[in-house]
Amino acid sequence: RTIRAPVCAFSSDDDFKPKKNPVDLGDEAAVQELLAGYVKTNPVLLFMKGTPSAPQCGFSQQVVRVMHAVGVDFSSINVLEQPEIREGIKVFSDWPTIPQLYVAGEFVGGCDIITTQFQSGELKELLMEHKLLTE
């Protein structure tokens, strides 16, 4: 599932048209709080360039392939839609690159780490440990 932030609701009536989230994305502390909320409420969350169905970089595409190969359901956020989210996640994780994978609220790593953990079986073990994947 792709998380589109910070927009909500769809309707033809003006009162129900998409509205900006009240979070001020110009406020770095508010962005960090928003990111913490996303990570906390999504058991498996991938911050990526593009979407799982249309990745916009090879590294994001590789992690999506790994997630599909493992067979886990995951949420994603397209960092290209919001520059504040794209830069904010790098601060949040203290990791300079995208994609970034979070499992059970914890930062797991980027493309190289995820690929290595997949190949070793460690990623599957992590997901099973958190009951996010069954054998």
pLDDT band for position 75 (50/70/90)?
very high
Q: What are phi and psi of 57, to 5 degrees?
A: -155, 155
Average pLDDT over residues 18-35: 76
Cis previous bond, 6, omega within 30: yes
Contact 79, 98 (CB under 8 A): yes
Indicate the burial class of 120 (C-beta count within 10 angstroms; 0-12, 13-18, 19 or more). Answer: exposed
Task: State pTM to two decimals.
Answer: 0.83
Confidence at residue 134, expressed as pLDDT on a 0 to 100 scale: 74
Of the candidates 84, 82, 70, the one whose C-alpha atom is nearest the C-alpha of residue 101 is 70
